[in-house]
Amino acid sequence: MIDTNLYLSLTDTIALLPGVKPRAARQVLKDAQVELLEASLGEPDNVLSIGQEDPATTLAGRELRLADLEGIFKEDDWGKQRVTPKGAALIADLYLRGAFPLKGKNAAPESPDQLLAYANDEAGLLARQEARNAARAAARRPIENPEEIREADFTYELLDQVIFEHCGPGSHRMTLDGIEVSKTVTRYTSNSRKTGDYKVVISWTGRDGERRVFEKPSLFENNRSNDPARNWGAGRE
């Protein structure tokens, strides 16, 4: 199954329709969806009985059912509407049938070549999915197998994550490639003390004897509430 986040957004899909009015086109699709939802789930006398066919509507001469629209209103991990290749093919067909308002009085639909290319490229999406999965697996490997990490591999992101996953949150020490790595986490707050974040320092002494440090600063470290010279932001004593 293809990760929904790889699909084109509905906004980007509609943008690939030459000369279309984007908001009006989106509304046409939404109206069709609402009509079908109301017909199938609305009043008690509209509830489908076993074996009864899903309600249908007609848009630009094409019969549509809720199942047809599923590929147009997919939601990704953040609730953004995305369109599958099958849904893109449906939108392209409706566009060519004249279902969507166009800019200009005498405007006519043109071939939506980019959208049709996307609609016919499910194999390309599958390849992207496989590549993404492989990249994620490669990124996870050293974290799950810290004994394979070498000093040359050290980065802030890698050390931060591997220490977090194997030691937990906060400050810790962990030996990697025979080297003791120290992670120090310090919390700083805003002047109102309602919000805060963390300064993270990761350090070690390399095999060449040199001290090395990775640091992620805090946005609030220099605030007066974190400064003893300014009485921790409490004003003069």
Beta bridge partners of 199: 186
d(CA 63, CA 35) in angstroms, rounded, equals 13
Burial 62-85 (b: 16+ CB within 10 A, else e): eebebebbebbebeeeeeebbbbb
Q: pLDDT for 66-80, tens place per residue?
A: 999 999 999 999 999
Average pLDDT on 180-202 reads 91
Q: pLDDT for 84-110, tens place per residue?
A: 999 999 999 999 999 999 998 889 999
Residue 72 makes CB contacts below 8 A (sequence gap 6+) with: 10, 29, 33, 81, 83, 84, 87, 90, 91
Residue with tokens 């394979």: 148
d(CA 86, CA 90) in angstroms, rounded, equals 6
Structure tokens at 211: 């001290």
Q: pLDDT for 18-47, tens place per residue?
A: 999 999 999 999 999 999 999 887 544 544
User: What are the two backbone dihedrals, phi and then psi, of residue 79, each rounded to the nearest 5 degrees?
Assistant: 80, 10
pLDDT value of residue 225 = 54
